[in-house]
Amino acid sequence: MIRRTTIELDEDLVAGARRALGTTTMRSTVEEALRQVIERAPDIERQRREAQMEFLATLGDRLDLDVLASDEMWR
């Protein structure tokens, strides 16, 4: 499905994307940029999950579990 829409785009960003992607029209530039983002999405999500897991692995060093378990913490 194709949808017509009007958006304001930074001309310098579009020109840079056009050069980087090797596209010739505004439409082909935007469509190719969107394709590449969709292609990379699984890798981006994996990296985000790994970063979250690394952070969670360090929580024991960052938190005082005795304080969290105490009654004073929850007053």
pLDDT higher than threshold 80 for residue 58: yes
Structural domain tally of the chain? 1
Average pLDDT, the chain: 92
pLDDT (mean) for 27-44? 96
Residue 32 lies in a domain: yes
Q: What share of the chain is helix, strand, coil (3-state, %, to 5)?
A: 75, 0, 25
Percent of the chain's residues with pLDDT above 90: 71
53 domain residue, yes or no: yes
Question: Could you tell me if residue 58 is inside a domain?
Answer: yes
CB-based contacts of 21, cutoff 8 Å, min separation 6: 29, 32, 33, 36
Per-residue pLDDT for 14 more than 90? yes
Buried b / exposed e over 33-63, threshold 16 CB at 10 Å, is beeeeeeeeeeeeeeeeeeeeeeeeeeeeee
Residue 3, in any domain of the structure: no
Residue 66 has pLDDT above 90, yes or no: no
> Which segments of 9-25 does DSSP mark as H helices, in order?
11-21
52: domain range? 11-74
